[in-house]
Structure formats: C-alpha cells, structure tokens
Structure 1
Amino acid sequence: MISWVLLLGVILSACSPVPIEAEEAQTKPIPARTDHSQRTIYLAAGCFWGVEAYYQLIPGILQVESGYANGDTEDTTYRQIGKTGHAEVVKIDYDSNTIHLAEILDRFYLIVDPLALNRQGNDVGTQYRSGIYYVTDEAKEIIDQSMDLFHERLGQTSYIEVEKLENYIPAEDYHQDYLANNPGAYCHVDLNQSKHILYPGIEKPSQADLKATLDSITYDVTQNAGTEIAHSSELNTQEGRGIYVDVITGQPLFSSRDKYDAGCGWPSFTKPITTDVIQYLEDRSHGMNRTEVQTWESGNHLGHVFNDGPRSEGGLRYCINGVSLRFISEEEMTQQGLQALLPYLMDE
C-alpha cells in the first residue's frame, strides 16, 4: 500500500515551473559536474575486451584500462599470464559524485557467470577467473555487503574472488579499446546490458486510476509538472537513513547518503541513487532555460536539477518535490524486499 504525502498549494518557483508543452520537451544528457571525485576499482569477468567496452558505456565511468592483476609476479604479459597467475582485469576509474561503487558492482553481476570456475564465455583458464580487487578499506566494506546480498539472491556462494589489489600491470597497447578498434571481434559480454534498469518499479497505472487514487497536489505535481509549496513537505527535513522512491511506481530514486539541506525548501540531493533512473528534459518556460528531471521509467515529474550544489559533491542540486517521493527507512528496506540497495547508503 502506497502512503501518500499530503501537501497543499501550488506556486511557481525556481524548483518546479509550469510544464512546457510536450512537443517542446527535448531530452538532454546528464548535466556536467563541476568537480569529480575519482575512485578506482578492478574487476575480472573473463576476456577484458568485452568488459572494457561494457563499462565504457556506463555514465560516471571516467576511464577503463585493460590489464592483469593479482598474480605471483610484478611483471607479466598476455602470453605469460597463464603461468604467472594473473587475471585479466579492467581498471575502472569512476566519478563517485556521479555513480556509486554499489552500482558498478550491480552491473558487474549482470555480465559475469558467478558459478563458473576459471572460465567465462568460451575462455578457460585461471586468467579468466572472476574477481573484484579493491584498494581501500571503504571499498572493501561496500564490496562485502554487496557480495553477501548477491549470494543471498543467488542462493549459493559464487566463485567470484574478493581480494586486495596486487601486482597490477596494464595490458599491451593493442588490447586497449580493442572492440572499438576491431569492430566485430570476439566479445562474450552482452553490451546491451549497459542499458538494463537495475531497480525498476511497478507498471505505472492509467491516468484514470491515478486521478482516482492520488490527491490533487500529488497528481498535479507528478503528472502536470506542478509545484508544491516550499517547506511544505516533511521530507524536506527528513534526516534518517534510507531511500526515496517514486511515490507512484515505487522505483528507487535517491539515497539518504546524497541528501542535504540546500535551504531552498524542497528535498535536495546531489545525485540519483543509480544512473539509470532519471531523464533530463529541456524546460524553457518563463523565458528561462532549465533542466527538468522526470523518472526515466514512468515519466513522472520530480523537479529540476541546478548547478549550484555542493562543489565537493559534484556541484549539482536535484531540487525535488516531496509529493513525488516516498521515504523508506533503512529498517524498512529489508521488510519491503529492497535490501539489495543497502550498499548504496554506505560512504565510499
């Protein structure tokens, strides 16, 4: 049963203007951030050609490099890794202001065969084992919780090894950007998985059902791009740990980790919980050029994103109408079957 947030009144504001006509709306890319917070993780999922190409398609990934890791020697080559014990890995530099490590891991689970020992796709050997190799204790904590939850969903323990990074060597130049330079070459990874919605919500009800179910302000905001009164939502001052979901479909949208007090009167966040939940639309109402944010899956209006957020967190402010959201506490997440999102509450 969805619990609705009751709010009164509609105003025009910097957070949510009058909706533009549908034919004027144009989708936009994720807004550029003023500052990046670079982190690095190393992943092994078989032949690195496909894994490299896959992660290059994910928003927030700054650079991907093919290489060898966690072998017995400080040097190796492609011809020697079968003897030196290294795994084929990709080194992933990512912006934690855009994407959380938990999402990188969730997308890793989509392309790896967790029950294959020393094999992925057509490739067999210890160099093709699956693994996650970390460099910080904070990353290790996220990985451990993520893997525990993954094994819970899997119903058994996988062959994915988790180890601290050792003896990393970049692969030879001809392995870098291999699929880009050799279209049609062998790839065991389904690159279309990069578009997979990690945590979808329920199917959006019809407009008739929404009108019959939602209160007037929630309907006006989510379906007509209306605006709630500033400081009217209890979620504006919500401080507990948990996630914020689409009030209509229940799709997870934001994490309490990324919420902050912007002083604007609406719930504000520095980024969405995952990179696949928001679509960005040009909004030229009131003679201005702004960026509206809607749920990617159902097209429900949320608010707008501005470039006046905390610089240390990337400089963006997602200014969201509280009636568009429902808060689920950390304790309630497991009860509602959303425990897979618990790693997204952790600091990196």
Structure 2
Amino acid sequence: MPITIADVAARAGVSKTTVSRVLNGRGELDAATEARVRRVIDELGYVPSARAVSLARGRTGVIGMLVPSLTWPWTGQVLQGAVDTVESGKYGLMLFTCNQGDGSMRQFASQVDAKAFDGLLVIEPEGTLDYITELHAAGLPVVLIDDRESRPQFPSVATTNRAGGRQAALHLLELGRRRPLVVSGTPGFGCVTERTEGFTEAFAEAGFPVPAEALLDGDFTLESGRAAVARAVAGGVEFDALFAHNDLSAAGAMQALGEAGRVVPRDVAVVGFDDVDLAALTTPPLTTVRQPLREMGVLAARMLLARLAGEPFPTEPVVIPTDFVVRGSTAPQA
C-alpha cells in the first residue's frame, strides 16, 4: 500500500497538520521536530501528491474550462489558444463539456464544490449564464469567451458580430450584388441578432432593403444551410448573394446551390462567418468574416491568470474586432 501522510505522522510522533506544515513550509516549527519529520519522510519514501500540496497552499494549479460541446466547429481554435496560454503560465486545464445536458452540469457543479480549480474559462452552454454569474459573485474568478453578445456581469472577451455582418454586406454591395439571402444561426442567440442587423442595416442604407422572405432561420449546422437554400429555391425567392452566419451552414448552402444548378460565385456570391479550417477547403474556397477565435482563447486565459496573480479584472468587456477574408466564393455580378 502507498505510504500516506498519516503513516509519516505516526512514525514521527506528530500530527498530520505538523507533517503538512513541514511539506509546505508553513508555520513556525521546532527545528528538531522538523528534522525528525523530514528524516521519517526519507525513511518511508513518502511522496506527497502534487494536488494535496497545492490544496494545502490554497491553490490547485488548475484552470477549469466549461464548453457546450467539442463538436462546435470553432471550439477547437478557442480551446487551443486557452490551453497554450494556461500551460505557459504553469497551470493545468480541466475541461468540462455539456454533452450530457443536466448530467454534465451536475458533474461540473460537484467539481466546483470540491474547489478542483482556481478559476474558470467559459464558452457559455445555453441556459447556464445565471449559474456562472452566481459562481463569480461567490468568489470564483470567471472569464466568459463570448460570441453571443451576452455582456455578462463578469469579465468577458468578445468579438464584433454587428461589424462582421456589416463587413459581409459591404463586400457584396461592392461586387454589385443587390438581392442577398441570409441564413441565420440559432434564434435567440445575441450574435444572431447582431450579425443580421449589421448586414441588413448596410443593405438598407445602400437603398436595397432585405425582404423578410430572404431572412431564413438556421441552427449553425451544414444541414440547416442546405435546407434553407433548398426552401428558398423551391419558393421562388430571387437572390444573387448569400450570407450565412457561420462557415458550416455556408458550406451546406453551397452544396444546395450546386444541386439547384447555381454556380458559385457566378450566379450566387457566398459569404460565411468564423473562418474555421473548413472555409479554405470548400469548392470554391469560402469568403468569410474571420472571428479571432484563437486570440479570444489566448486573451481570456491571460486575463484569468493575471487575476490569479493578484491583478484586477478589466472593468469593461474586452472586444477583439473581426477581419474579412476574401476567397473564391465571391466575385462581381456578371
């Protein structure tokens, strides 16, 4: 059986608290007692767990990260940025997903109660913002990595969804496209509202308001993009451009356009959002609004590590602007 701190305490004739103080250099101890405890540790070959030592020091050396699912196309880029930064700061990362719904959240809550990590990074699983806000209010340092325009009551790193939608619209207008179709993301998400408003406002300002029948609900999936375009074509909606709220639904839209005999970009210019790896691999490669995904993960992790080092959190959300990447899916109106 492994040697425990209780074995050391019994052999040295001291309490477990005394052994812990010797291991962690805490408290004033008699030199002879400390020497005796260290001698017993050497004799027994006792090796304290790193976790036990960290907890005794009031820190775990671990950052928690809560995400909805690893299947979201852009989660991996955010996660990689966060992991690289956390590990560079000599912390470990404990990852939680919500793949099992309430069961996943119960498991996460048990680790919160056990104080298994020192701070938390969050890509908000739907319906959890109030709970995360309570954790922060109770003293757990939290940073939200947000693309939904949630604007929580704790620190967050976000991007410019409205400006990104506007970038997409201005590009299409410059190409002479006047009849866009919009395939949105999941209704109710703040980023969906922001992206749609930024896009439609730019078209309206140019004198080409987007009709209601050209605004189609999606859910950020490839199939929703394909189905939305199929419905528009079957319904006789006229369009020469398409803006999808993410690259995955844009790829599905391009698939449906091909099935309908529409050539991209000759007949329909297509713009996505995110600039995940898929965007450069579609045929033709996808023009898209680049969301600074890895940078968001890096900056959020830096903010959290700085807070754990004693620095204050920023008082306002930190916003990183989007970029625009032009590829072969857009071209001037023939």
- Greater fraction of residues in strand: 1
Would you call these one fold, judging by a TM-score over 0.5?
A: no
Q: Determine which structure has greater relative contact order: mean sequence separation of CA pairs < 8 Å that are 6+ residues apart, divided by chain length.
A: 1
Taking structure 1 as the reference length, the TM-score comes to 0.27
Structure having the higher helix fraction is: 2
